[in-house]
Amino acid sequence: MSDDDIPSPEDGAERIVDLRQALEERYLSYALSTITQRALPDARDGLKPVHRRIIHAMRLLRLGPNEAFKKSAKVVGDVIGSFHPHGDQSIYDAMVRLAQDFAMRYPLVDGQGNFGNIDGDGAAAYRYTEARMTDVAMRLLEGITENAVDFKPTYDGSNDEPVVLPGNFPNLLANGSQGIAVGMATSVPPHNVAEICEAALHLIMNPSATVAELMQFIPGPDFPTGGILVEPQASILSAYETGRGSFRLRSRWVREDKGRGVYQIVVTEIPYGVQKSKLVEKIAELLLAKKLPLLKDIRDESADDIRLVIEPRAGTVDPAILMEQLFKLTDLEQRIPLNMNVLDRGTIPRVMSLRRRSSPGSSTARTCWSGAPTTGWAKSPDGSKCSTATSSPISTSTR
């Protein structure tokens, strides 16, 4: 058969294509969709599309922090029907994470009911739980009705959704983000919002400030579950300058004397992302396997706060040596990765340094947090939309 005998697509017949080329094209399309629509957060509001659509749907349902709760099933249904045509469980899992104070440094959803716990227990079904937005989520939406951001048609063209939220809150650095795409991943640990705002103010006043200078305000991540950062300063600086690295995080512990030379060790904070029940099970397994000769027993006496009681084999055991042994063999010490791979302007994956991420020009809502209330929104000289006034910072506890 000659090339002239092959039917053309215009004739309505099947077209013969090269299998290798077709697979490459389709896989590239899938990879780009995964990178931009699922795994990587937008550098401007720090949200992935599913989180952005959940917050937008809750705004349309008028689920403000001062309004009554509504069933999570209502929120999930509206998100699926209007904005995000994917599985209900994946959307609910995303909303549950936004409500967990041990997963989010500043939760965006205020949950009522069982939304899981640090032991790894899952949330109740969405027909049982209720939700509304927090004050932080309202900060992300501030100005959305005042021409602050662009909108685009939804998947079926029946409605509009925001391309990005105004972002009057440094959400990417404050809450962090994790995701795995095709050929790339992201891992941004949470930070203290008061420190972020101080660094942003310094950068506004000193545009040529270096990462080392910004670290005077942001010495490192600030995790919702606490812990002690034991990474050398030089290593933290290198990670923030390059956008890649890791942080060594240890549990916080204290010694409690019980009298007559007897003491116990109490762990009050554990590393970020560690499930407490699995941590206790792992230590118990090592104890039974006789790999922890200095340890006698471990008990979980946690209530609202974490309290893991560790009993040494004898009162003569050095607690520091016992804890070093536990740090080495268990998740009482973890390495938290840093990979600031985010979508620059919502389209281009790029690994950013701390300086680039803290720059006011990288945020949609360019605020300088000096204490004055926000008064309005307008176009900036480069065509993007930004705040014309400043905003007061959200009060937060520091380390």
Q: How far apart are CA 298 and CA 281, in angstroms?
A: 10
For residues 379 and 134, the model is more confident at 134
Residue 9 falls within a domain, yes or no?
A: no
pLDDT tens digits for 119-174? 999 999 999 999 999 999 999 999 999 988 999 999 999 999 999 999 999 999 99
pLDDT of 18: 85
For residues 140 and 28, the model is more confident at 140
Q: How far apart are CA 195 and CA 76, in angstroms?
A: 34
**How many degrees, rounded to 5, is the angle at CA 393 between CA 392 and CA 395?**
125
The answer on 240 and 207 residing in a single domain is yes
The answer on 289 and 156 residing in a single domain is no
The answer on 97 and 37 residing in a single domain is yes
pLDDT at 223 over 90: yes
Domain finish residue from 162, 197, 223 = 162
For residues 136 and 348, the model is more confident at 136
The answer on 347 and 201 residing in a single domain is yes
Q: Is 128 a catalytic residue?
A: yes
pLDDT of 373: 32
Domain assignment of residue 307, given as a range: 252-331
Give mean pLDDT, residues 206-223. 95
The answer on 43 and 135 residing in a single domain is yes
CATH of the domain at 345: 3.90.199.10
For residues 310 and 3, the model is more confident at 310
pLDDT of 359: 63
- HEC string of 282-329 equals HHHHHHHCCCCCCEEEEEECCCCCCCEEEEECCCCCCHHHHHHHHHHH
pLDDT at 257 over 60: yes
pLDDT at 245 over 90: yes
Tally the domains of the chain: 3
Tell me the pLDDT band of 356, cut-offs 50, 70 and 90: confident
Residue 126 falls within a domain, yes or no?
A: yes
- Which of these, 341, 219, 329, 335, lies nearest to 272 by C-alpha position? 335
Tokens linked to 236: 């933290």
pLDDT at 25 over 80: yes
Tell me the pLDDT band of 321, cut-offs 50, 70 and 90: very high
pLDDT tens digits for 75-92? 999 999 999 999 999 999
Residue 326 falls within a domain, yes or no?
A: yes
Residue 12 falls within a domain, yes or no?
A: no
pLDDT at 33 over 90: no
Tokens linked to 72: 């999570």
Q: What is the DSSP letter of 4?
A: G
Q: How far apart are CA 39 and CA 52, in angstroms?
A: 13
Residue that is written with structure tokens 């590239």 in the block:
28
pLDDT at 375 over 90: no
Residue that is written with structure tokens 């983000």 in the block:
177
Q: How far apart are CA 102 and CA 227, in angstroms?
A: 12
CATH of the domain at 268: 3.30.1360.40
The answer on 188 and 108 residing in a single domain is no
Give mean pLDDT, residues 305-316. 94
pLDDT of 374: 35
Query: Which of the following is catalytic: 92, 128, 155, 272?
Result: 128
pLDDT at 367 over 60: no
* Mean pLDDT score of the chain: 87
Cα dihedral 142→88→172→62 (10° resolution): 10
